Amino acid sequence: MAATAPKVLVVEDEPDIRKLVQYNLAQEHFKVLEAEDGEQALKILKRDKPNLVILDLMLPGLSGLEVCRALREQPETSRLPILILTAKAAEADKVIGLEMGADDYLAKPFSPREMLARVRALLRRADSAEASDTTKIYQRGPLKIDFATYEVFIRGKAVKLTLKEFELLRFLVQNPNRVLSRDQLLDRVWGGDTFVTPRTIDVHVRRLRKTIEADDRNPKWILTLRGVGYKFDEKALDQ
């Protein structure tokens, strides 16, 4: 069991919280790596290549948001699942974390059981995404998606997406011109056993538009139907 156990890096400067997370993960047979600040976390990430990161936002020196940004900028960690921890109650702080590329968030104080459920869900989603669509390539107009390599090209230029952004784009293009509710997107992209809210969809759509649309303030490909959800307008690719 230990040889195949997923590795989780816990980045938390408060020793009591870090040990709490470590203990509960270890009890479920995860291999746990620990870092008490952002600089140490980045060194461990280069050396040990964990399967998932639990990342506190409020860290001394290099903040959790800066660590998250650094991970998303590197190809080898751009799709690494990130669960952020925050003691801040404001929704804006959670949204910023998601906009930086985090996959999910957990507010302190938290239930160890809920933390474990979120970790398992993120790992399942990452495994499922890696196993599916291993040969198909989508190409129309300026958009090309290689489902085997998780590469996305706009007018021949590679663009970087997080795992969740890629999964969201994949589901949208595989259901062209169909109105998809936030609940449908949550279920298919995040899975029914995660604890994210419909607000998460809006954050990821906004990030995705900034990356692939010519003008994210006036999107042509990913359209919003107010009060309903989103639609991928495939015909717009031909314009």
Rg, Å, the chain Cα set: 18
Global pTM value: 0.67
Kind plus residue range of the DSSP H or E element containing 50: none
For residue 3, is pLDDT > 50? no
What does the alpha-carbon distance between residue 154 and residue 141 come to, in Å, rounded to a whole number?
9
Residue 105 — very low, low, confident or very high, per pLDDT cuts 50/70/90?
confident
Q: Report pLDDT digits (tens) over 141-199.
A: 999 999 888 899 999 999 999 888 999 999 999 899 999 998 888 888 887 555 677 78
Distance of CA 96 to the CA centre of its chain: 13
What does the alpha-carbon distance between residue 15 and residue 22 come to, in Å, rounded to a whole number?
10
Residue 98 — very low, low, confident or very high, per pLDDT cuts 50/70/90?
confident
For residue 70, is pLDDT > 70? yes
For residue 1, is pLDDT > 60? no
pLDDT at 2: 40
Q: What is the mean pLDDT of residues 62-79?
A: 89
pLDDT at 132: 58
For residue 79, is pLDDT > 50? yes
Q: Report pLDDT digits (tens) over 25-58.
A: 999 999 999 999 999 999 999 999 999 999 999 8
132 with 111: CB under 8 angstroms?
no
Kind plus residue range of the DSSP H or E element containing 168: helix 163-173
